[in-house]
Amino acid sequence: TVQAQNDFIAAMSALNKARSALDLAQIQDRRAKDLFEGKAVPLKDYQQTQATLIQAQNDLRSSQTALEAARNKLRILGLTDEAISSFQEKGSINPNTTIFSPITGTVVQRKVGPGQYVNSGASDPVFVIGDLSTVWLTAFVRESDASKISVGQEIAMNVLALPGRTLSARINYVAAAIDPATRRLLVRATLDNKDGLLKPEMFANVTIYSAGDHPAVGVPKQALIYEGNQVRVWVAHEDKSIELRQIKTGLTNGDLVEVEGNLKPGEQVVTKGSLFIDRAASGS
């Protein structure tokens, strides 16, 4: 901002000099015209004063353009027309300057402190401002699941700061390649954050729903009995009898395992001691 103010002062000074030069050129042109008409000076002298007048007029227009450019630079930096006019009248630099952000948002990072020198040409910003009314959720998908991910898929997420609350969104970006370091696929979704509860750098648990998702029966892992390639569960009936039933397992989500057929919703399975019941029933 200080450099912009210096540029404005220099432009004002150049404009004043151009005006003075034009006034002098006009006086000399009138005098040369009178002398030429009185045959007191040759034509070339009169033509020389005319050329000087035209050059002075061009210099004035250039100075006016430069001053307007310097004025616009101050406007970009946030100075109002009233502040610029006051500055133009006083001709002095205001030591206190207000810096205006080009966007409405929140300061999410500050890289400068009181008394620190700031160079206008520095590549590293002194403040990072973000519009947190929406935030990005980034997730990394295993390479084996990369083919199942596409833009538009629904996701659900939970964050530690909002226990019991599930947020939903849709994937709006899928990376074109697997990260060579992590062997994961980057995906991204935009979340509404008008209430400001989501903060940058929060961690989240994310579930991505594929197009073929469907309701399924799930049982706790501790209810499963493995024997070779077969998986069984003990099913408890209302008459307090139990039945050993072979099932086929599918996806795993936390402590639950999907059951693909041979078990109906609502049926109860034994989750504690199922292995001991199995050994007792087999006589081992």
CATH of the domain at 273: 2.40.420.20
Domain count, the chain: 3
* Residue 92, pLDDT above cutoff 80: no
Is residue 25 assigned to a domain? yes
- pLDDT in the model for residue 212: 63
Amino acid at 50: Q
More confident position, 201 or 123: 201
> Beta partners for 218?
258
Is residue 228 assigned to a domain? yes
| Interval 163-178 mean pLDDT | 91
More confident position, 27 or 117: 27
Residues 176 and 199 in one domain: yes
Is residue 96 assigned to a domain? no
Is residue 12 assigned to a domain? yes
Amino acid at 66: A
Pairing of strands 134-142, 204-208: unpaired
132 Cβ contact list (under 8 Å, min separation 6): 105, 106, 108, 193, 196, 198, 200
Residues 84 and 17 in one domain: yes
Least confident of 9-13, 31-35, 54-58, 212-216: 212-216
Is residue 126 assigned to a domain? no
Q: Is the dihedral of CA 149, 152, 156, 161 positive or negative?
A: positive
> Beta partners for 244?
234
Surface-to-core class of residue 256, CB atoms within 10 Å of its CB (0-12 exposed, 13-18 middle, 19+ buried): middle
Q: Which domain-ending residue is among 177, 208, 239?
A: 208
| Interval 51-73 mean pLDDT | 92
Residue range of the domain that includes 236 = 217-282
* Residue 211, pLDDT above cutoff 70: no
Is residue 53 assigned to a domain? yes
Residues 6 and 86 in one domain: yes
